[in-house]
A = this chain, B = another copy of it.
């Protein structure tokens, strides 16, 4: 599972049926790369979250939702800066 920060919501009108009605968030890792995750916990921009990938991502938010990345939880306290470089 990875640690990422919520950057924004993803607005995407045309989608495959398996993702029709889910909330999508754009996340940013410590190294600056971006990913899109399904959010069922109500994460807000700026929150640090940890994410589940693979088939567990699907099971975590409902088997019928066809995601490969889901927000698993909001981290209570995370100070990226004080931890120095991370990848």
Using a CB–CB cutoff of 8 Å, the interface residues on chain A facing chain B are: 1-3, 10-16, 18-19, 24, 26, 28-37, 40-41, 50, 52-61, 66-77, 83, 85-87
**Contact present for A52 and B33 (CB under 8 Å):** no
15 new A-B pairs (CB below 8 Å) besides A11-B76, A52-B67?
Answer: A1-B37, A2-B36, A12-B50, A12-B74, A12-B76, A15-B41, A16-B41, A16-B52, A16-B60, A29-B87, A30-B33, A32-B85, A32-B87, A54-B68, A56-B58
Chain A interface secondary structure, helix, strand, loop or mixed?
Answer: mixed
Given the known interface contacts A3-B26, A68-B56, A86-B34, the answer about A14 and B74 at a Cβ–Cβ threshold of 8 Å is yes
